[in-house]
Amino acid sequence: MQQKNLLNLILLIVAISLASVIYFSEKKNTDLEKLSTINTDEITSIIIQHKQNTTSILRQKNNSWQIERPVTIAANDFRINSILKLINAPVHSKYSIDETDLTSLGLNKPGTSIKFNDQTIAFGIINPATNLRYIRLDKTVYTIEDVYYPLLSSNFGTLVSLNLLPKTERIEKLILINQTISRNEKGFLKSNIDISADTINKTIDHWLHDQAFAVHEYMTREALGEVFIYLEGQQQPINYLITDTDPWLILARPEIGLEYHLDIEAYNNLIVPQ
């Protein structure tokens, strides 16, 4: 248990730090040539290939991002926008592919690549002398700061929205451990236990707006309980398994291979409001 929690904490710290590293790396290297002059606002499609895994992400009409593969789910816009900065990343050096050994640089058959619209960037190895990452774009090999690869090589959950539910949705019914909250014929929310209307409204608000501090690949654990959320216009509920409550709350969705980690205070707000 301690090793698992330590690993999750390390992954969280790494994910949070990446955007800061990217920002300060760009600030430090403002005088360097850019990988391209492509306007990131024009990018509408992102496809990440890592080993045998593919993550497809599309820009929505409201400029938010949605993951379309391996599952359809809202993306973490902050992290996607961090990845977009790769297309204009500062370049430390560049070489024609005709004067480089692509195999020795890990670029002959790259295991990781990202495609922005129709521009593909392949990732090679790190130069051990400079700690810079070799990448290829078109017929040129570049070296850049190694701040993007960790996001691209992680489980796709790293790029998933931290929200528990889709935005702008209306909750019709909550089946929780200690009660069921549903709308009556007049559309008012009622609980089958004796709690105040204020508590009911706060519970709905928590489900709509609370965020996990991390989303990870699903890990099989014994289920401690289950909750169901019925949204307006949806016949099938979203259901979460409660798989851990120490030291934090973990809500899992095995069917999409993800689990959401929240501060333990969320247990009372989301699972057993009173």
Tens of pLDDT, residue by residue over 73-127, are 999 999 999 999 999 999 999 999 999 999 999 999 999 999 999 999 999 999 9
Whether residues 149 and 60 share a domain: the answer is yes
Whether residues 110 and 206 share a domain: the answer is no
Whether residues 174 and 145 share a domain: the answer is no
Whether residues 117 and 181 share a domain: the answer is no
Across 52-75, b (16+ Cβ under 10 Å) vs e yields eeebbbebeeeeebbbeeeeebbb
Amino acid letter, residue 157: G
Name the E strands within the chain: 45-50, 53-59, 65-69, 73-74, 93-96, 112-116, 119-126, 132-137, 140-145, 171-175, 180-183, 189-191, 214-217, 225-231, 238-244, 249-253, 258-262
In a domain, 9, yes or no: no
Distance CA 47, CA 115 (A): 5
Distance CA 142, CA 94 (A): 4
Distance CA 243, CA 219 (A): 9
In a domain, 21, yes or no: no
Q: What does the mean pLDDT of the chain come to?
A: 91
In a domain, 11, yes or no: no
The whole-model pTM stands at: 0.85
Name the percent of the chain lying above pLDDT 70.
89
Q: What digits encode the pLDDT tens for the residues 16-40?
A: 555 555 555 555 556 899 999 999 9
Whether residues 53 and 146 share a domain: the answer is yes
Among residues 107, 132, 158, which one ends one of the domains? 158
pLDDT recorded at residue 19: 54
Among residues 117, 141, 158, which one ends one of the domains? 158
Whether residues 77 and 195 share a domain: the answer is no
In a domain, 19, yes or no: no
Q: What are phi and psi of 128, to 5 degrees?
A: -65, -20
Amino acid letter, residue 59: R
pLDDT recorded at residue 101: 96
Residue 177 makes CB contacts below 8 A (sequence gap 6+) with 225, 227, 242, 271, 272
In a domain, 204, yes or no: yes
Domain total for the chain? 2
Whether residues 143 and 169 share a domain: the answer is no
pLDDT band at 7 (very low <50, low <70, confident <90, very high): very low
In a domain, 223, yes or no: yes
Structural contact between residues 3 and 11, judged by C-beta atoms closer than 8 angstroms: no
Residue 24 makes CB contacts below 8 A (sequence gap 6+) with none
Distance CA 36, CA 88 (A): 5
Whether residues 256 and 175 share a domain: the answer is yes
- The pLDDT of 255-262, averaged and rounded, is 98
Domain coverage including residue 101: 31-158
Whether residues 203 and 221 share a domain: the answer is yes
pLDDT recorded at residue 1: 47
Whether residues 127 and 36 share a domain: the answer is yes
In a domain, 154, yes or no: yes
In a domain, 4, yes or no: no
Which helix (H) or strand (E) segment holds residue 77: the answer is helix 77-84
Instruction: Please say if the pLDDT value at position 54 is more than 80.
Output: yes
pLDDT recorded at residue 111: 96
pLDDT band at 256 (very low <50, low <70, confident <90, very high): very high
Whether residues 35 and 153 share a domain: the answer is yes
Structural contact between residues 251 and 238, judged by C-beta atoms closer than 8 angstroms: no
pLDDT band at 50 (very low <50, low <70, confident <90, very high): very high
Whether residues 190 and 262 share a domain: the answer is yes
Name the percent of the chain lying above pLDDT 90.
85
Instruction: Please say if the pLDDT value at position 4 is more than 50.
Output: no
pLDDT recorded at residue 180: 98
Among residues 95, 123, 158, which one ends one of the domains? 158
